[in-house]
Amino acid sequence: MNIPGPVLILGGKSDIGLACAHAFAAEGHPVWLAARDAGQLEAAKTDMALRHGVEVETFAFDATDIAAHEGFVDGLPALPSVVICAVGAMGEQLDNERDVAKAAQVMRANFEGPATLLGVFANRMEARGSGAIVGISSVAGDRGRATNYIYGSAKAGFTAFLSGLRNRLAGAGVHVVTVRPGFVNTAMTAGMDLPAKLTAEPDELGTAVLNAVRKGRNDIYVRRIWWLVMLIIRNIPEMVFKKLSL
């Protein structure tokens, strides 16, 4: 029987990242949680170890500190079997429009940082000839909309990156999964009045990611309805689209 390998969660404090961690831990995988402040992961670490009886370790990293990427990966106990990136930041669209520093920060936290870091894992997994890479992107990347195109454009970049990476590694034994959640009930969306039928709980993402890794799925929406919603949104002619408020 296969011994479940370690799963690294980048953005280990996020609700989506933690839900993924629980899903894998429940299957016996050791879990490595990484966040900017590793001290804030202690409660989650104890909880996860108690619930699932697996080894849990915590690490500090900053996805936007690009120079530190190689060193961070070197510092891990080993190259993980699965790496899941749930790093992201939305900010406020209005702030992002007016303040270039804020816009750049959103672009870095959703695209530049996650993509370059996953790139380091990709190279090493390719050399090893095995592994799975999961990127949590967003439906916001499917088409830019006035209300959140700074975040959306970074996610679009991330989605394209993941698709290229999957293409590159298809023959190398490394599987890449793109996850495009719609609305998820997390810290990021706290206080927003979201439509219940379109809003997934973090658990649903955890299960979906676990299944995608196991079954070799490439690109998933969570809550199937989002596939349809985005199909429609992508196909509205630009002439009409530009006048809509979505």
Partner 1 sequence: MKLGGWGRFGAEDTALTAPRDGSEAAEALTRGPVIARGNGRAYGQSAVGKTTTISTRNLNKMVSFDAKKGELVAEAGVLIGDIIDAFLPRGWFPYVTPGTKFVTLGGAIAADVHGKNHHIEGSFGQYVTWIEVMEADGTVTRCARNKNRKLFEWTIGGMGLTGVILRAAIRLRPVESAWIRQTMVPAANLRDAMRVFEANHDATYSVAWIDCLATGDALGRSLVMLGEHATAGDLDVTRARRPLAIPPKRKLSVPFDMPGFMLNGHTVRAFNKLYYWKGCRAEGESLVDWDSYFYPLDSILGWNRIYGRKGFLQFQCALPLSTARDGLTALLSAISEAGQGSFLAVLKRLGAQDSRFSFPMEGYTLALDFPATTSALALMDWLDGITLDHGGRFYLAKDARMGADTLRRADPRVGEFAEMRGQKGRAETFQSVQSERLKI
Ligand X SMILES: NC(=O)c1ccc[n+]([C@@H]2O[C@H](COP(=O)([O-])OP(=O)(O)OC[C@H]3O[C@@H](n4cnc5c(N)ncnc54)[C@H](OP(=O)(O)O)[C@@H]3O)[C@@H](O)[C@H]2O)c1
Catalytic residues: 151
Looking only at residues 129 through 188 of this chain, which bind ligand X when binding is defined by CB under 6 A? Answer: 136, 138, 181, 183-184, 186-188
- Complex with ligand X: residue 36 or 102, whichever CB lies closer: 36
82 lies in the site for ligand X, by CB under 6 A: no
Partner in contact with 183, chosen from ligand X, partner 1, none, beta carbon below 5 to 8 Å by kind: ligand X
113 lies in the site for ligand X, by CB under 6 A: yes
> For the packed helices 42-52 and 15-25, what is the interaxial angle rounded to 10 degrees?
30
Cβ 81 vs Cβ 55: under 8 Å: no
Number of Cβ atoms within 10 Å of the Cβ of 230: 18
Distance CA 109, CA 157 (A): 12
Q: Select from 62, 95, 201, 219 the one that contacts ligand X (CB under 6 A).
A: 62
Looking only at residues 48 through 107 of this chain, which bind partner 1 when binding is defined by CB under 8 A? Answer: 50-53
Using the rule CB under 8 A, give the single segment among 82-90, 142-150, 162-170, 185-193 that binds partner 1: 185-193
- Complex with partner 1: residue 129 or 191, whichever CB lies closer: 191
195 lies in the site for partner 1, by CB under 8 A: no
- Complex with ligand X: residue 66 or 172, whichever CB lies closer: 66
Binding mask 36-55 for ligand X (x = CB under 6 A): x-------------------
Using the rule CB under 8 A, give the single segment among 44-52, 73-81, 113-121, 219-227 that binds partner 1: 44-52
Using CB under 6 A as the criterion, which residues of the chain lie in contact with ligand X when the complex forms?
11, 13-16, 35-36, 62-64, 86-89, 109, 113, 136, 138, 181, 183-184, 186-189
Using CB under 8 A as the criterion, which residues of the chain lie in contact with partner 1 when the complex forms?
43-44, 46-47, 50-53, 187, 190-191, 193
